[in-house]
Chains A and B, each alone.
Chain A
């Protein structure tokens, strides 16, 4: 029975001491400890969150870079294509113009040649005619030195006139 009979003295001291300990520990130990723990947990949590956010940002940045690079690549391809197209067009144009010019020049040359040829031919013809007349004149002069021959010729003419 002794064992299970609480003594008044111990009840008193235990009550007083426990209240004092509860108060002192709550105020000077548990409060700062819990506050520090909470603070540390928050700081860890926020650090983790920030790391996550940074990761996401990095990803976004990387994606943005990728997109930018892609855009730049497309732009470059476009510019190069356009440039090559423009170059081809210019070459084509230049070729066409050179062709045209050549054709025109050949035509001109041909025309000039023809004209020259015609002129030359006309001159040759004229010269030939002059020469023929000269030759005929000389032949006639030579033929008609003899008065008999002149007579014969006149006779011929007269005969021909008679016939008409």
Chain B
């Protein structure tokens, strides 16, 4: 199993350079290529020519519609309308008789396309399922090892993940949350490994930029917010509505600030993860684009050298961002469950609790 992992990680590193796209005909547009790569799609282009058409699930005025995304392409791989829907720039809209998206005007008179709610299994969703399957397989295996050899020293995959699990428990949860840390360890572990695995899968060639998608980071941040609010105690709210050491006259200013603070914390989590991962992808893709912009083979080695460096940096960032997200989440939980705030952090939870 250990060998398999080494192979897995080395594959991840080596084949990353194959990720650059081949534009056929026309002027190369790096901006479009990069946007296309970090965005979402209705089909998964594993390699050039090897496209996996994913199911499209739509809900709107026609009710629930489920069909393959291959229906949007004719035999020459050109877009075509299907079943009253038309795909344009990765979005699905209602089509008129001419096969053009229907245009509606909103109250301010701006023109925009209208479409059904799109619950499609897009590239990102498929990647999400893949990562989840991987997570479940890996950690069920690890849990199985604990059952099959109880009380013994860890072996194989178990010994790879055990230090990480213990790190999350002892270095993230314990010092930041305090005595009630044990309740939050499962959530922290899940969020840590979810982000880390998806960051790494995103770095795989052909992989989806899942953790660099704001919808995903938003959901994760909202979960953290919900858990924080549900585990908050009296002291947490007292800190917000009657911040200790603040004169009463200042409270009308302090209370709105503190209330906004509740939301800015998960917002920062959302943006931090999204921006870090997306930026990494953009940098690597930009470095590869240089070859095509200069249309010179001489730039290749330079570009590849920089991209390799960036790739290793991204492997580190993948772990770092998972750690930062988990750490800050633990701090917010700690701030919400603390009985008496000794830390000099004005209730923001990011002061030293060590």
- Residues of A at the B interface (CB closer than 8 Å) are 2-15, 17-18, 20-22, 24-26, 28-34, 36-37, 39-40, 43
Contact = CB atoms under 8 A, between A and B. Distances in A.
Given A13-B128, A43-B151, A32 B190 contact: no
A39 B142 contact: no
A33 B139 CA distance: 9
Interface in B146-175: 146-147, 150-151, 162, 165-166, 169
Contact of A30 (B121, B190, B213): B190
Contacts of B119: 8-9, 12-13
Contacts of B84: none
B57 to A, nearest CB: 8
B214 A9 contact: no
Interface residue SS majority, chain B: helix
B125 A29 contact: no
Interface of B: 35, 38-40, 57, 117-122, 124-125, 128-129, 132, 135-136, 139-140, 142-143, 146-147, 150-151, 162, 165-166, 169, 182, 185-187, 189-190, 193-194, 213-216, 218-220, 223, 274, 278
B190 A26 contact: yes
Given A9-B119, A10-B213, A30-B189, A40 B139 contact: no
A21 B117 CA distance: 24
A37 B118 contact: no
A14 B208 CA distance: 14
A31 B186 contact: yes
A9 B122 contact: yes
A17 B182 CA distance: 23
B295 to A, nearest CB: 28
Contact of A10 (B122, B166, B186): B122
Contacts of A10: 40, 122, 124-125, 128, 213, 215-216
A6 B122 contact: no
Contacts, number: 116
B92 to A, nearest CB: 10
Contact of B118 (A9, A15, A36): A9
Nearest to B135: A21
Which of A3, A13, A29 counts the most chain B CB atoms within 10 A? Answer: A29
A12 B142 CA distance: 29
Contacts of A25: 135-136, 139, 186, 189-190, 193
A4 B214 contact: yes
Given A31-B186, A37-B146, A39-B150, 8 more contacts: A3-B38, A3-B39, A9-B57, A13-B125, A25-B189, A33-B139, A37-B166, A37-B169
A3 B120 contact: no
B140 A29 contact: yes
A32 to B, nearest CB: 5
B118 A7 contact: yes
Given A14-B219, A40-B151, A2 B190 contact: no
Given A10-B125, A17-B132, A33 B143 contact: yes
Nearest to A30: B186
Contacts of B189: 25, 30
A71 B343 CA distance: 61
Nearest to A7: B215
Contacts of A24: 136
A9 B143 CA distance: 32
Nearest to A36: B146
Contacts of A8: 117-119
Contacts of B139: 25, 29-30, 33
A113 to B, nearest CB: 104
7 closest Cβ pairs, A-B complex: A6-B215, A36-B146, A29-B139, A26-B186, A10-B215, A30-B186, A14-B219
